[in-house]
Amino acid sequence: MSLGRPRDGERPTPWAVCLVAGALAALGAQFALEGWAEASEIGHWIQHGVIFWSGVLVGLGILRLYQLGGGRA
């Protein structure tokens, strides 16, 4: 398993996928949910929840990829 680009036939690491999914969820919550969040109270809190959990995903992805790399930065 490599931390960079996957070789032919090799799947990307689940932690890299976690990192990308978290970043995309944060962008979606920030921009796609903005109108709904401004229009309703529940939309506002759902937006906050999505941003929180996407931050958790990004943090876990970064932490695990750092550990897999042996802490060499």
Number of H helices, E strands in the chain: 3, 0
* pLDDT score for 13: 82
**Of 12 and 18, the one with more pLDDT:** 18
* pLDDT score for 9: 65
Name the residue among 65, 67, 66, 71 with its Cα closest to residue 12: 65
In angstroms, how far is CA 7 from the centroid of its own chain? Answer: 23
* pLDDT score for 29: 92
pLDDT tens column, 22-56: 999 999 999 999 999 999 999 999 999 999 999 99
- Enter the tokens of residue 21: 């999914």
Mean pLDDT of the chain: 86
Using 50, 70 and 90 to split pLDDT, how confident is the model at 68? confident
